[in-house]
Amino acid sequence: MRPLPSTAALCLVLSAFTGSAQVHRIAVTAHEAAKRVDVTIDGKPFTSYVWPSTQKKPVLYPLLSAHGTAVSRGYPLEPRKGERTDHPHHAGLWFNHGDVNGFDFWNNSEDITGERVARMGTIHHRRIIEATGGHDRGELAVEMEWIDGAGTPLIREQTRFVFRGSSDMRSIDRITTLTAIAPKVLFRDNKEGTLGIRVARELEQPESTAEATVSGLYVSSAGKRGDAVWGTRGPWTLLGGRIGAEPITLAILDHPGNPGYPTHWHARGYGLFAANPLGQKTLSDGNVEILLPLERGQLATFRFRVLILSATPDPERIERESQAFMATR
C-alpha cells in the first residue's frame, strides 16, 4: 500500500489547485476608493475603518460581535429604528480630544455652524501604511493628521489596529502615536475625551422598568456600578447587557504606559462609553489638572484594548484580560 502523503505534500497539492494567494482567517481588505478597510474573521464581517466625508474623523464602524450582532449605534452613519439621534459626533469607535491648542476635536460634526466652526478641529485620513491578515490576528496601520480650525496641521497620528477573534470574542487593540508637527501642542484637561464608543440602544442603561429591551450596566475594576462609574479611575470598565437573546459584554482596557493612567471613565447611561486619561480636573472635580504638552517632534503613545464578548458580564475574566494586556509592550 502506498504511504499517505505528508501534510506538507497536501499543502503543495492544494496550492496547485487554489493558486498561491493565502487565505487568512482574519482578513483586512482595503477599498480606498470607497474610503474603507473591511475586517472579517472566519468570513464574517467584524468592523471597518472608514473615513467618509460626512465625518470629521476616521472611525471603526460598525462593531459586530462574534455572532454578527451590532453592538455600536447606527446613527449617524446608518440610522436604525428606535435608537437615539443625539450627538452626531458619536459614531462607532473613535479617538480624539475636546481641547487641543484650544480647538475642539471631540464635538465636531456637520451639525456645527456659525462661529463655532472656527473653534473645531478635524482629523483627516492620510494613508494606509499596511493592511495584513493572518490566522491569529489582522493588522491595519494608518496615518492621520489633526488640523485646527484655521487649517493648520497640529499633529501627525500613526495608529496600528490589531484585530483578533474566537467563537465568543472579538478584540481590537488601538496603538496610537501622536507626534507634534506644530511648534507647540497642548492637550488640556477636558471632559470630552478620548477613546469613545457609542453603543447600541439595547446596551444603554435603562431609565425605567418600561424599557424592557434596554439592559446595559457599567461595572468598573473598582467595583463601581451603573452611574457611579462616571468620573472614577481604573484600568478597566465593562458594560454588560443583552441584545435579543445574545448576552453581550463590552470592555475597554487601559494600559499602564498611557499618559494619565489609570484612565477616567466618561461612561454615560445614554450610551457613551469612553476612556479619558486627560480628565482629572473636569471629571473628578479635583484640584489637579492633567496637561499633555508636546513640542515639535515630541510624541505621546496611547494603547487601549476593546473586547466584545458574547457572554454575560464576568469581572474576573475582564481582570485576567486586563492583566494580560498590561503585560504587552
Query: Is 13 part of any domain?
Result: no
Query: Is 85 part of any domain?
Result: yes
Domain count, the chain: 1
Query: Is 16 part of any domain?
Result: no
The pLDDT score that the predictor gives to residue 210 is 83
**Spatial separation of the C-alpha atoms in residues 283 and 291, rounded to whole Å:** 14
Whether residue 274 is predicted with pLDDT greater than 60 in this model: the reply is yes
Average pLDDT, integer, range 267-288? 92
Query: Is 2 part of any domain?
Result: no
Q: Where are the alpha helices (DSSP H) in the chain?
A: 7-18, 280-284, 315-326
Whether residue 18 is predicted with pLDDT greater than 50 in this model: the reply is no
Query: Is 7 part of any domain?
Result: no
Query: Is 1 part of any domain?
Result: no
Quote the domain boundaries for residue 179. Answer: 23-326
The pTM for the full model equals: 0.92
Would you say 126 and 147 are in contact if contact means Cβ atoms under 8 Å apart? no
Query: Is 260 part of any domain?
Result: yes
Name the one residue in this structure whose C-alpha cell is 507634534.
180
The pLDDT score that the predictor gives to residue 83 is 97
* CATH number of the CATH domain containing 298: 2.70.98
Average pLDDT, integer, range 241-265? 97
The pLDDT score that the predictor gives to residue 115 is 96
pLDDT band, very low/low/confident/very high, at 22 (cuts 50, 70, 90): low
Nearest to 272 by CA among 80, 96, 89: 89
Query: Is 289 part of any domain?
Result: yes
Q: What percent of the chain has pLDDT over 90?
A: 88
The pLDDT score that the predictor gives to residue 10 is 34
What would the pLDDT profile of 125-149 be if each residue is shown by its tens digit?
A: 999 999 999 999 999 999 999 999 9
- Give the list of residues 6+ apart from residue 91 with CB closer than 8 angstroms, or none: 55, 59, 61, 73, 75, 76, 77, 198
Strands 272-276 and 193-198: antiparallel
Would you say 62 and 76 are in contact if contact means Cβ atoms under 8 Å apart? no
The pLDDT score that the predictor gives to residue 21 is 56
The pLDDT score that the predictor gives to residue 209 is 83
